């Protein structure tokens, strides 16, 4: 359990009713991309995200004329709503008054430490935490220009400056910190430094601007996988240039792969090879599609041949080991029937429903 220590020793904050840090389950969050002045569109997106298990949502408030919509979203949302603010501290203060469950401000562009003071007071009055969200693309200019520091050192320096101000100058401790870069190796190094320098502070982890789904998922799973495995990270967002619903699904897949959260069924399916004598790829995809609606952590194996097939099918809760145009269906380790290729999916689903 050594590897869980970093996560367990952070201080817990509450975002609405969601505990974050202090050994709570790693929280899954995403960010909306609907128009910020359209409350209905944002609420619709929140419903879709809640359905796939998203626990916190973040909304950008780029202008004062979006505050009214923000308030409506907070009032109607089934999930705690985080206000994402850049440049203008006044927007953060207003967001705190209008129902934000947490504020996210960016040290690089909020106007310096003193500009954060009234934001901190607004959060204190509202009883909500603040994320200090540093980003490589928007570092404070003086810090960005320093040639004696590496990018991870700059990101961490910016975060530490703000944490000290919040904690020591303002006696405000309900904080979460992030410091993201698009570079995976730099992000890993940054969070290791942060976890060492700020052992009590819950960390929000993510690879920023990770790209479209294929590249973004690989960069995020690799970088955040390394950190989570080291016990670093109390909440995560997988940033994709894609539908936020995909971000949330990817978060759960990653947490589930590392045994940190279990929500969805797991499909064990072989990559197919010259030994496979059924059309396995569409078969596995169909099983995956039908499993998507289930939110039980079942193990379902769809295997193409006799090499690992019987072993994996018997080891799973439900499984099928295929041969030449047939499938032998297993439930809880025992053979239950042998069916023709065309009937494999329905036979599997029947056993899954029976479970």
229 contacts a second copy (rule: CB under 8 A): yes
* Number of other CB atoms surrounding residue 192 within 10 Å: 17
Count the residues in the chain.
355
Cα distance between residue 103 and residue 18, in whole Å? 15
Q: How far is CA 52 from each of CA 24, 46, 48, 55, 244, rounded to the nearest angstrom?
A: 20, 10, 7, 9, 10
Residue number with CB closer to a second copy (174 or 228) = 228
Candidates 167, 295, 315, 341; binder of a second copy (CB under 8 A) is: 315
34 contacts a second copy (rule: CB under 8 A): yes
176 contacts a second copy (rule: CB under 8 A): no
Candidates 161, 167, 242, 295; binder of a second copy (CB under 8 A) is: 242
Residue number with CB closer to a second copy (33 or 153) = 33
Candidates 97, 146, 173, 275; binder of a second copy (CB under 8 A) is: 275
To a second copy, the closest distance from the beta carbon of 136 in angstroms equals 7
| Cβ(329)–Cβ(339) below 8 Å | yes
| Cβ(98)–Cβ(72) below 8 Å | no
To a second copy, the closest distance from the beta carbon of 305 in angstroms equals 8
3-state secondary structure of 212: coil
223 contacts a second copy (rule: CB under 8 A): yes
Cα distance between residue 167 and residue 152, in whole Å? 22
36 contacts a second copy (rule: CB under 8 A): yes
Question: Which DSSP string do the residues of 216-242 spell out, in sequence order?
Answer: HHHHHHHHHHHHHHTT--SEE----SS
Residue number with CB closer to a second copy (5 or 127) = 5
Residue number with CB closer to a second copy (113 or 213) = 213
Binding mask 67-96 for a second copy (x = CB under 8 A): -----------------x-x----------
Q: How far is CA 101 from each of CA 2, 118, 176, 204, 318, rounded to the nearest angstrom?
A: 32, 17, 13, 16, 41
Looking only at residues 111 through 140 of this chain, which bind a second copy when binding is defined by CB under 8 A? Answer: 135-139
Segment interacting with a second copy, rule: CB under 8 A, options 96-104, 120-128, 307-315, 326-334: 307-315
Residue number with CB closer to a second copy (215 or 346) = 215
Binding mask 52-71 for a second copy (x = CB under 8 A): ------xxxxx---x-----
The interaxial angle of helices 113-126 and 89-97, nearest 10 deg, is 0
Candidates 271, 293, 353, 354; binder of a second copy (CB under 8 A) is: 271
| Cβ(287)–Cβ(302) below 8 Å | yes
Question: Which DSSP string do the residues of 254-295 spell out, in sequence order?
Answer: HHHHTTS---S-EEEE----TT--S-HHHHHHHHHHHHTT--
| Cβ(56)–Cβ(83) below 8 Å | no
40 contacts a second copy (rule: CB under 8 A): no
170 contacts a second copy (rule: CB under 8 A): no
Segment interacting with a second copy, rule: CB under 8 A, options 116-124, 157-165, 168-176, 282-290: 282-290
25 contacts a second copy (rule: CB under 8 A): no
303 contacts a second copy (rule: CB under 8 A): yes
Residue number with CB closer to a second copy (97 or 275) = 275
């Amino acid at each position: 359990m050594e590897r869980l220590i970093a996560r367990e020793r952070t201080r817990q904050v509450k975002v609405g009713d969601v505990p974050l840090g202090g050994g709570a389950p790693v929280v899954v969050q995403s960010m909306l991309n609907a128009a910020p002045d359209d409350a209905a569109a944002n609420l619709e997106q929140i419903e879709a995200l809640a359905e796939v298990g998203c626990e916190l949502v973040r909304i950008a408030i780029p202008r004062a004329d979006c505050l009214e919509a923000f308030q409506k979203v907070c009032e109607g949302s089934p999930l705690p709503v985080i206000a994402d603010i850049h440049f203008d501290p006044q927007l953060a203060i207003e967001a705190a008054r209008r129902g934000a469950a947490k504020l996210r401000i960016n040290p690089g562009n909020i106007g310096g430490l003193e500009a954060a003071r009234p934001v901190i007071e607004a959060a204190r009055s509202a009883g909500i935490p603040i994320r200090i969200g540093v980003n490589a693309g928007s570092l404070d200019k003086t810090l960005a220009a320093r040639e004696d520091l590496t990018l991870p050192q700059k990101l961490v320096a910016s975060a530490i400056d703000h944490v000290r101000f919040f904690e020591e100058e303002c006696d405000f401790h309900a904080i979460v910190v992030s410091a993201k870069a698009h570079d995976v190796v730099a992000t890993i190094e940054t969070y290791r430094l942060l976890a060492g320098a700020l052992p009590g502070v819950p960390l929000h982890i993510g690879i920023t601007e990770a790209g479209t789904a294929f590249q973004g998922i690989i960069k995020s799973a690799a970088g955040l996988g390394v950190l989570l495995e080291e016990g670093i990270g109390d909440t995560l967002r997988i940033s994709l240039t894609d539908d936020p619903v995909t971000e949330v699904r990817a978060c759960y897949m990653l947490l589930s792969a590392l045994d940190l959260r279990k929500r969805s069924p797991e499909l064990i399916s072989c990559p197919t090879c010259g030994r496979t004598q059924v059309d396995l790829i569409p078969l596995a995809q169909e099983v995956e599609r039908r499993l998507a609606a289930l939110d039980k952590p079942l193990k379902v194996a769809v295997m193409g041949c006799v090499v690992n097939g019987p072993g994996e099918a018997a080891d799973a809760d439900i499984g099928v080991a295929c041969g030449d145009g047939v499938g032998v269906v297993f439930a809880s380790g025992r053979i239950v029937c042998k069916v023709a290729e065309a009937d494999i999916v329905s036979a599997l689903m029947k056993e899954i429903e029976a479970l």
